[in-house]
Amino acid sequence: MKKGFRKLFAAGLAALMAVSLAACGGDDREKSGGDKAAAGDSFVYVPEYVSLGDENVRLSRVICSDGMLYYNGYIFDEETYTSRSPIFKYDVAAGNQEEIKVDMEGLEDAYVSQLATDKEGNLYIIWVRSVWDENNPDDWHQDTFLAKYDISGNTVFQQDITQEMNSDDENTYVQNMAVDGEGRVYLVCSRIIRLFDGDGSYRGDVETEDSWINNAVRGRDGKVYIIYYNRNGGNGGYVAAEVDFVGKKLGSTHAMPDNVDSLSEGVEKDFLINDRTRLYEYDLASETWEEVLNWVDCDIMGDYVQLVCPSGDGRLMVVIYDWESNNAELAFLKKTKASDVVQKEELVLGCMYMSQDLRATAVAFNKSNEKYRVTIKEYYDRNSDIDRENALTNMINELTSGKGPDLLALSYDLNVEQLVGKEVLADLNPFLDSSSALSRDSFVESVLKGYTYGDTLVSIPKSFSISAVAGKTSQVGEKMGWSIQDIMDFSAEHPGAELFEYVNQSTMMEVLMTFNQDAFIDWEKGTCNFDCDEFRQMLEFAASFPEEYNWDGERESTPTLLATGKLLLYSDGISQCQDIQVAEAMFNEPVTYIGFPTTDGSVGCVMNCNEGYCIVDKSKKKDGAWEFIEFYLNRDSDMFSWGFPSLKEKLEEKIADACKVEYVTDENGEIVLDEDGNPIISGMGGFGWNDWEYTYHPCTEEEIATLRELINVAMPMPTSNSEVLTIIAEEAEPFYKGQKSLDEVVSTIQSRMSMYVGENS
Amino acid sequence: MNRKFGKTGKTGKTTELKKLNKAETPEKMRIKTTRRTRKLKVSSGAFIAPSLLGVLLFFILPFIVIIWYSMVDNPISANFVFLDNFKSIVANPAFQRAVRNTFMFSVVSVPLAVVLSLILAIVLESKIPFKSQFRTFFLSPLMVPVASIVLIWQVLFHYNGAVNEILGRFGTDKIDWMKSEYALAVVAILFLWKNLGYNMILFMAALASIPKDILEVATLESATPFQTFFHIKIRYLSSTLLFVTIMSLISSFKIFREVYLLTGDYPTDTVYMLQHFMNNKFRNLDYQTLSAAAILMCLVIIVIIGVLFIVEDRFGKDVEG
């Protein structure tokens, strides 16, 4: 009996172990969308589009209530130079739209600032009118009105709330409006909420302890909630809080996901949240949110989504406004089984963070390509517990184990050289050579060179910008490029003047090491010589700078400091052709782009790439991946990208645009002349400080020549040797503070670097 | 075999034989035994299987994978390169340095850990006041988390720490301990401070288990304490000595945790240990070199432990059963 019991007990234990092993590694699907389930029971949201308004109407505000969409537009008449702000109503069920005519008495020249509805379908509008003093154009103010209209457009009340809005200087603009279930109005004004009851009478304010309010919405319970960033206590981060109208205070806070772009009443739970990449459904009671869909998977650009609400027939209605084309449309999303939808071959694109440019490109590619479809796998989710470093590790582990995505988006913290060394990234050269849409000659050479490691071309970024250092030609000479000794001598020749702005000891050392990390290292032999005189001089030079920069609030502006010689060098970021004029304008005399110092005296100019994609070598769909890269590089839209195009043709177009001279003309097309009889060049924009202003001019040939030279020599910042900078920074600190001698510090740096170099050679 | 069923007397068949059931003849008995044995083996195997599976999955298979990793150029293309990875790390100056430092550390600190803890055990075994308080005192470092220990050590041995403060009062210049040639000594002190207590307890238990009558006989036979210790006690302690040495050796390799927290990924060449090399290789995705280094280290440890077992076997053979 005893023996039998023992056997039974042992068998039970073994069974328990086996069961517990089987359960480990279970997939946590709580926060992931239902459409990620195994094939056979996965769902997708398929959009059906309906055009909304016409291209002359720029969609401004849009709200939804009880099967009706209300939105206002902006129409500018180019012939009469007048504008108006009509309000439209769209009946979702009937599929027709009409303009709502409201009584404009007392609201001449006013425009619609905010729209809201109550549960009965009454419309609430904030009208704003700007009023200028005829005698003094700088003196102007805004009149603000709160109006309520019934379903037929008849005015219920119209209140002038200018006095309440101007009761303080900071919270004068209505950025959001909501109406609760009892018809009371809540106006969000920067950091406070102004309360008005059902007849438009002002009832007081609710404050948020100096937090900016992002959104206000009526929940399913009829109460109004605001979203703001809570700086205090355990609930730090974005939170939702009920606004207590009677008590004039905020209720308890509920944690929200980061990056809430817009909020609306929920379908089955309290709210629908759009963060531009995904749509979530949020439950107030449990403070949890569940992904409903990913916008890219629905072929919708999340940034263009103005509103999401239930359409009443089981579908989700999404109002989309494309800023580029000025096109507004409705997308009705129907939840459909994935197996019922036409299947394309999936390309997975891995990224740390899904940028706007990537989303826009993926949506456009998915709509246009018949064979492939891109799915974006974002490794770093700010709403999860995994921090960025661990997310990067996960990505690298997947890549090196052969389970990575088909495409990879470059990220600033991704060690590309390391991945190339491990043969993780495919060489794009064969694809480029055999492409019918692109050719090697069509790209700026330095871009291709900058992203070639050994013989492997890993990526072709679509656009780039440049960082370079400029100084007065009279001081630094005409020749571009200088050595570390040169910059030290230059600084010694100008005692009392700042070399760079906002620089301290450690940042100066970083500047000196920007292009010189490998100067003291022989990777082939596995040796280093940081105990040489040159490195000692660099440390001593860096030590001559302040430990901490003095951020004096009353400091003169940068242009003034440069022009007066109190500041010697300017670190310039150049992302458009006209930026090449900035340094000379600020110095107020000719400049030379001397660059960051290098050990060999060459020009140190950094190339910063906007967005670049690589093909993962293990991918079985390399051809499809290349199709995506081709599509991306050839795409005309640069709505979400900046900088100089990598394609020569587009770069030349930009340069030609920047050099084009356009004059101010009158209504008859005649050139307007100034007092001296000279034509007036059309403004190209500009910028300034408090005491200094600059307006760009069409670029000259000399400026373009300088820009071309900088583009030719620019190189991406090396990422592989960040450990070098880290070791130097750690060991140099006691020397900067005077605690250790130069010899001690150099000896320690040499010892640590020897280990690093020896290990990695 | 039961003699009753073996050689029978002149009568040939015995009464006991007659009483045998036909089914229980020697042949049938053997079959029954074999069947029973097989059944026992199968059921034992079934119960051991989960543990065996676990060992296979978490120890043996990964080890095989590591061997495979060490013989390819990278996990993506997986070209077989045989011993090239081993050759490259043996020639690697950082690896050579790491081996030297790890060897020096183990050679110095492991014997110290064994000898000092044995001495402490002997002292605490004698009749001294506050014995149990001393025991607690020596055991308490075991309970302190590593990060806390490192914090204490940083406070003590930092460039601006307590030790330099005290030395400064005697006119000595400050020493950046963890970046000087004394770094390994500091780490050795940390290692001994942490591990002496545990070893001491093991020795105390072993000392308590030595048969008292043998010691009494030795005393009666006018043996000196020295002779008693070396000729009797040491022999009885041999298995514990082996165990403590092995555990100390393993702990000496695990000192990487403390050194890593004190000095980071790339310390100076005086405290750059094998585990630094391997940890950095892992971070840099260089799994091939990492695997090759791990296998080399494993082989060396096998040899050392093998030698220790042989020594223990020879030395303590006569006192073991």
pLDDT, averaged across chain A:
86
Lowest-confidence pick of A83-87, A393-397, A622-626, B314-318: B314-318
Domain check: are A492 and A422 in the same one? Answer: no
- Topology, domain B88-319: MetI-like fold (1.10.3720)
Residue B91 and residue B85: Cα distance in Å, rounded?
10
Nearest to B267 among A734, A752, A761 (CB): A752
Domain check: are A455 and A479 in the same one? Answer: no
* Residue A580 belongs to some domain of the structure: yes
Q: Reply yes or no on whether the pLDDT at A522 is more than 70.
A: yes
Q: Which residues contact B306 (CB under 8 A, 6 or more apart)?
A: none
Q: Is A734 on the interface with B (CB under 8 A)?
A: yes
Nearest to B94 among A14, A18, A755 (CB): A755
* Residue A509 belongs to some domain of the structure: yes
Put simply, the answer to whether B77 touches A423 (Cβ < 8 Å) is yes
Put simply, the answer to whether B269 touches A755 (Cβ < 8 Å) is yes
Q: What pLDDT is recorded for position A236?
A: 62
Secondary structure (DSSP) of A472-505: EHHHH-SS---BHHHHHHHHHHSTTSBSSTT--H
Question: Percentage of chain A with pLDDT > 90?
Answer: 44
- Which chain B residue has its CA at the smallest distance from A724's CA? B266
Q: B88 with B281: CB under 8 angstroms?
A: no
Q: Is B272 on the interface with A (CB under 8 A)?
A: yes
Domain check: are A409 and A545 in the same one? Answer: no
Domain check: are A493 and A618 in the same one? Answer: no
A contacts of B50 (beta carbons < 8 Å): 14, 17-18
Which candidate, A335, A316, A588, A367, places its Cα nearest to that of A472?
A588
Q: Is A383 on the interface with B (CB under 8 A)?
A: no
Q: B242 with B67: CB under 8 angstroms?
A: no
CATH number for the domain spanning A577: value is: 3.40.190
- How many independent structural domains does chain A possess? 2
Q: Which two tokens stand for residue B5?
A: 């069923």
Residue A231 and residue B305: Cα distance in Å, rounded?
58
Q: Is A12 on the interface with B (CB under 8 A)?
A: no
Instruction: Please give, rounded to a whole number of angstroms, the shortest distance from the CA of B269 to a CA of chain A.
Output: 6
Give the pLDDT band (50/70/90) at residue A553: low
Instruction: Encode pLDDT of A44-67 as tens digits.
Output: 898 998 888 666 666 778 888 878
A contacts of B285 (beta carbons < 8 Å): 396, 400, 418, 422
Instruction: Encode pLDDT of B240-270 as tens digits.
Output: 998 999 999 888 888 888 888 888 889 999 9
Q: Is A319 on the interface with B (CB under 8 A)?
A: no
Question: Percentage of chain A with pLDDT > 70?
Answer: 93
Classified as helix, coil or strand, B205 is helix
Count of A-B CB contacts under 8 Å:
78
Domain check: are A591 and A740 in the same one? Answer: yes
Lowest-confidence pick of A6-10, A564-568, A693-697, B117-121: A6-10
* Residue A549 belongs to some domain of the structure: yes
Domain check: are A569 and A482 in the same one? Answer: yes
Put simply, the answer to whether B76 touches A618 (Cβ < 8 Å) is yes
Domain check: are A406 and A540 in the same one? Answer: no
A contacts of B264 (beta carbons < 8 Å): 730
Domain check: are A531 and A575 in the same one? Answer: yes
> Testing the interface with A: which of B76, B270, B289 to mutate, by most A Cβ within 10 A?
B76
Q: A85-120: b or e for each residue (b if 16 or more CB lie within 10 Å)? A: bbbbbbebeeeebeebebeeeebeebbbbbbbbbee
Q: Is A754 on the interface with B (CB under 8 A)?
A: yes
Question: First and final CA of chain A: distance in angstroms?
Answer: 68
> Testing the interface with B: which of A399, A415, A755, A760 to mutate, by most B Cβ within 10 A?
A755
Q: What pLDDT is recorded for position B320?
A: 57
Instruction: Encode pLDDT of B294-320 as tens digits.
Output: 999 999 989 988 988 888 887 766 665
Put simply, the answer to whether A759 touches B277 (Cβ < 8 Å) is yes
Q: Reply yes or no on whether the pLDDT at A751 is more than 70.
A: yes
Mean pLDDT of all residues in A65-90:
79
Domain check: are A429 and A538 in the same one? Answer: no
Mean pLDDT of all residues in A14-20:
66
Instruction: Encode pLDDT of B143-158 as tens digits.
Output: 888 888 888 888 899 8
Q: What pLDDT is recorded for position A18?
A: 60
Domain check: are A507 and A592 in the same one? Answer: yes
* Residue A747 belongs to some domain of the structure: yes
Instruction: Please give, rounded to a whole number of angstroms, the shortest distance from the CA of A359 to a CA of chain B.
Output: 29
Instruction: Please give, rounded to a whole number of angstroms, the shortest distance from the CA of B221 to a CA of chain A.
Output: 52
* Residue A498 belongs to some domain of the structure: yes
Classified as helix, coil or strand, A550 is coil
CATH number for the domain spanning A453: value is: 3.40.190.10
Nearest to A752 among B159, B266, B285 (CB): B266
Q: Please write down the long-range contacts of A432-435, taking CB distance under 8 Å and 24 or more positions apart.
A: A432/A457, A432/A460, A435/A626, A435/A630
Q: Is B69 on the interface with A (CB under 8 A)?
A: no
Q: Give the full edge-to-edge strand order of the sheet including A123-132.
A: A111-117, A123-132, A140-149, A155-160
The domain in which residue A511 lies consists of: 465-609+715-760
Instruction: Please give, rounded to a whole number of angstroms, the shortest distance from the CA of A611 to a CA of chain B.
Output: 24
Instruction: Please give, rounded to a whole number of angstroms, the shortest distance from the CA of A7 to a CA of chain B.
Output: 10
B contacts of A760 (beta carbons < 8 Å): 284
Q: Where are the domains of chain B?
A: 18-69, 88-319
* Residue A140 belongs to some domain of the structure: no
Identify which has the larger pLDDT, A312 or A301. A301
Instruction: Please give, rounded to a whole number of angstroms, the shortest distance from the CA of A400 to a CA of chain B.
Output: 7
Identify which has the larger pLDDT, A366 or A30. A366
* Residue A535 belongs to some domain of the structure: yes
* Residue A479 belongs to some domain of the structure: yes
Q: Please write down the long-range contacts of B44-49, taking CB distance under 8 Å and 24 or more positions apart.
A: B46/A14, B47/A10, B47/A11, B47/A14, B49/A14
Put simply, the answer to whether B75 touches A400 (Cβ < 8 Å) is yes
A contacts of B76 (beta carbons < 8 Å): 400, 402, 422-424, 617-618
Q: Please write down the long-range contacts of A220-229, taking CB distance under 8 Å and 24 or more positions apart.
A: A220/A265, A220/A266, A220/A270, A221/A181, A221/A270, A222/A119, A222/A180, A222/A181, A222/A182, A223/A180, A223/A181, A224/A178, A224/A179, A224/A180, A224/A186, A225/A271, A225/A284, A226/A186, A226/A188, A226/A193, A226/A250, A227/A256, A227/A260, A227/A263
Residues of A (499-528) whose Cβ lies below 8 Å from B: 526
A contacts of B287 (beta carbons < 8 Å): 400
Place of tokens 């992904």: A291
Q: Is the ipTM of this complex over 0.90?
A: no
Put simply, the answer to whether B284 touches A424 (Cβ < 8 Å) is no
Instruction: Please give, rounded to a whole number of angstroms, the shortest distance from the CA of A390 to a CA of chain B.
Output: 12
Classified as helix, coil or strand, A443 is strand
Q: What pLDDT is recorded for position A26?
A: 40
Q: Give the full edge-to-edge strand order of the sheet including A288-294.
A: A262-265, A271-274, A278-283, A288-294
Domain check: are A362 and A351 in the same one? Answer: yes
Nearest to B285 among A418, A727, A752 (CB): A418
Q: What pLDDT is recorded for position A589?
A: 93
